[in-house]
Amino acid sequence: MEHQLETIGRNMFAIFGVMALCGAAFMVASKSAVHSVLGFLFAMLCVAGCFLSLDAEFLGMAQILVYAGGIVVLFLFVVMLVELSKFKEKGVFQLQTRSAVIAVIVGGVAFLAAFRNLLFGTASPEALVLRPELAQGLAVAQQNAQAVSRGLFSDFLLPFEILSVILLVALVGAVVLAKTERV
């Protein structure tokens, strides 16, 4: 029992990753928009699990808050506002679906061929090691948040400020775009 738990703990990332892929595939393939949103929610939660298993606790929690708490609700509201039932009969997929799928498959094969040595070569069994100085910083959630904030406010201060301006512009822009014609 303990051994099994240990194995599960060691492969936590792969489990969450495969679940995220399943959620993403369900999102793309499902006919109903609400089902798509639910698949998206599942994929985002599993990606948050991936973040947690990579010792990025703060980002995992931020992922859950931002995506599951904010963006999915926003999507659901828009699905509610936009009446989708009248598009049912027109088909789910684009006309060029076959060529698009072929292009994606060819691209994936080309990617795998180009990075075959990198992904499955001799270097691949090397595990993702944590540097000791970082391991200390990432050990506890609070310390992870401290480490991230140190990076954010020292190396990435200017992008952080620019992002706040972008958020303000997006806020104003969304209101302007979505408001009705009569003011």
Structure tokens at 34: 């609400």
From the CB of residue 170, how many other CB atoms can be counted at a distance below 10 Å?
A: 10
Contact with other proteins (CB under 8 A): which of 5, 113, 128, 183? Answer: 128
Please give the size of the binding site for other proteins, defined by CB under 8 A.
Answer: 92
Angstrom distance (rounded) from CA 68 to CA 79: 16
CA 8 to chain centre: 22
Minimal distance, residue 1 CB to other proteins, in Å = 21
Does 174 engage in binding with other proteins (CB under 8 A)? yes
Does 180 engage in binding with other proteins (CB under 8 A)? yes
* Distance between start and end Cα atoms, the chain: 65
Does 75 engage in binding with other proteins (CB under 8 A)? yes
Minimal distance, residue 165 CB to other proteins, in Å = 10
Residues in CB range of 58: below 8 A, 6 or more apart: 141, 144, 145, 148
Residues in CB range of 135: below 8 A, 6 or more apart: none
Does 64 engage in binding with other proteins (CB under 8 A)? no
Contact with other proteins (CB under 8 A): which of 78, 80, 110, 114? Answer: 78
x/- track of binding to other proteins for residues 17-46 (CB under 8 A): xx-xx--xx-xx----x--xx--x--xx--
Does 91 engage in binding with other proteins (CB under 8 A)? yes
